[in-house]
Amino acid sequence: MRMLVTGGAGFIGANFVHQTLREHPEHSVTVLDALTYAGNEASLAPVRGDIEFVHGSVADADLVDRLVARHDVVVHFAAESHNDNSLRDPSPFLQTNLIGTFTILEAVRRHGVRLHHISTDEVYGELELDDPAKFTDQTPYNPSSPYSATKAGSDLLVRAWVRSFDIHATLSNCSNNYGPYQHVEKFIPRQITNVLAGLRPKLYGAGENVRDWIHVDDHNAAVHLILEKGRAGETYLIGADGEKNNREVLALILELTGRPADAFDSVTDRAGHDLRYAIDATKLRDELGWAPRYTDFRDGLAATIDWYRENEAWWRPLKGQIEAQYAAAGQ
């Protein structure tokens, strides 16, 4: 297949491109990426000779039309992805997540090209800490932040285009990813690089919020399975039963880096901070036969710490500006 991967210079998209070339060499890959602050061509450096790279926006209708016309499938990762940024300035989130997805939808409709839309568990809102329930594809949408509201809107656009125009699309909603090439603004890389840079890690509030962690390669393997075997129009939830609260994750980072357990700061909590996310991935497991390979979070986290240790040249240029932004917000 000729794949058009939007947002392929970001965290999950870049890992998807690496995995595709490594494990599915029958596909050709074109990346469309606007190279925002979150996009980094260095993340594609190891595969640069094996892909086509197009610098541009998913909201550029002419460019998207021309590109979609010469591909068989669009895997749509491109988004503004960080909740804290969406609280500071929501406008790019509306432009990329809503208008960008609309632009892709119109192009795949015109050219009869398949779409896989990448989304998040945050569209379902939060769960209580003691609630045995997890999210399924039947859970009502109830997003909390400007980020998750625009992702929810993008999902609903895809579903409406499936129903109204019969486009061939699948959707997936995944939980929190970790692994190499994740931007230092996000929780796990921020704390790892704080330790490596001699700064104290920063925990929002009491650190009781629970996230359902999955290794990025397990997420992307699920996306490949959906591309191969997923039913048109269906939504698949992706998660690896990795629930942990933020305090536990930080404690593990401090332990694995040989720092004292109390060597962190508690900082201003995120406004509207969702308490807990948890995915029930039964449909993905039973229908498509998916299973995660990274079942030991400690091992996956240790490998991720090693990656940041060995790739300081990748993250160091990003660090100062991000920490200055956080400091201005008391975080």
State in angstroms the smallest separation of the CB of 261 from ligand NAD: 26
DSSP for 144-200, please give it. Answer: -SHHHHHHHHHHHHHHHHHHHH---EEEEEE--EESTT--TTSHHHHHHHHHHTTPP
Q: Residue 206 burial (CB < 10 Å; 0-12/13-18/19+)? A: exposed
Which position among 117, 211, 224, 319 is part of the footprint of ligand DAU (CB under 6 A)?
211
Tell which positions 43-62 bind ligand NAD, by CB under 6 A.
57-59
Is 204 designated active site?
no
Instruction: Quote the DSSP letter at residue 325.
Output: H
Token pair belonging to 265: 């700061």
Number of residues that bind ligand DAU (CB under 6 A): 19
Q: Does the footprint of ligand DAU cover residue 183 (CB under 6 A)?
A: no
218: part of which helix (H) or strand (E)? helix 216-229
The answer to whether 121 contacts ligand DAU (rule: CB under 6 A) is yes
Q: 236 has which bridge partners?
A: 172
Question: Which of 124, 147, 178, 294 is the catalytic position?
Answer: 147
Work out which of 98, 174, 195, 226 binds ligand NAD, going by CB under 6 A. 174
Of 162-181, binders to ligand DAU (CB under 6 A) are 175-176
Cβ proximity to ligand NAD: between 39 and 201 the closer is 39
Point out the catalytic residue in the list 122, 126, 155, 323.
122
Rounded-to-5 percentages of helix, strand, coil across the chain: 45, 15, 35
Q: Which two tokens stand for residue 18?
A: 């690496």
Asked if 83 interacts with ligand DAU (CB under 6 A), we say yes
Applying CB under 6 A, among 96, 101, 170, 220 the residue interacting with ligand NAD is: 96
Shortest spacing between CB 84 and ligand DAU, in angstroms: 6
Cβ atoms of 33 and 55 closer than 8 Å: yes
At closest approach, how far in Å is the CB of 260 from ligand NAD? 28
Q: How far apart, in whole angstroms, are the C-alpha atoms of residue 314 and residue 317?
A: 7
The label of the residue with tokens 């594809």 reads: 137
Residue positions annotated with a catalytic role: 121-122, 147
Q: Which positions lie near ligand DAU, rule CB under 6 A?
A: 81-83, 120-122, 175-176, 186-187, 190, 202-204, 209, 211, 246, 270, 277
